[in-house]
Amino acid sequence: MFLRRIARPLMAKVKETTGIVGLDVVPNAREVLISLYTKTLKEIQTVPEDEGYRKAVESFTRHRLKVCEEEPDWEIIEKRLGCEWNPWGVDDDYECEVIENDAPVPKHIPLHRPGPLPEEFYKTMEAIASEPVNEPVITDGGDSKSTKQDAA
């Protein structure tokens, strides 16, 4: 009986990882969240009441504070707040518009037409194309740095 009373709290669910590299788990996350949400509600009082930003921040902060105060379990808090991190998740009904190369570009999208390249670019390209290529010859492991031209 003594062992059960001592071991039961130790066997409680403990969050092991946040799922984000380099971000450690906060053991008393519920209390930290409650204090941060309370502080946020105090700080947002400096913003004028008729501002949309203040209304939005107060609304979702009050909701999150209420959830944290109602639920003692971190798993339930995460589930109710929608804290699942799923960066690769794509909705089944998501559609991506594909624009073919020959399709006309919609008028609301600005066109980018690159200007002509400078003359020195073409000269450099010609010089590179006309230079003979010195390809290394594979040898039996010696330190000689001969090329195909040297071997010929």
Indicate whether 128 belongs to any domain.
no
Helix (H) / strand (E) containing 69:
helix 52-70
Indicate whether 72 belongs to any domain.
yes
Indicate whether 102 belongs to any domain.
no
Indicate whether 78 belongs to any domain.
yes
CA distances from 143 to 139, 140, 149 (A): 9, 9, 17
Q: How far, in Å, CA of 35 to CA of 29, rounded?
A: 10
Indicate whether 65 belongs to any domain.
yes
The model's pLDDT over 128-151, given as tens digits with 9 standing for 90+, comes to 888 776 777 777 765 555 555 555
Indicate whether 10 belongs to any domain.
no
Indicate whether 58 belongs to any domain.
yes
| pTM recorded for the entire structure | 0.49
Q: Which residues, in sequence order, are CB contacts of 98 under 8 Å at separation 6+?
A: none
The model's pLDDT over 69-112, given as tens digits with 9 standing for 90+, comes to 999 888 888 888 887 666 677 777 888 877 677 777 788 888 87
**What residues make up the domain containing 56?**
49-85
Q: How confident is the model over 98-127, as a mean pLDDT?
A: 82
User: Domain tally for the chain?
Assistant: 1
Indicate whether 38 belongs to any domain.
no
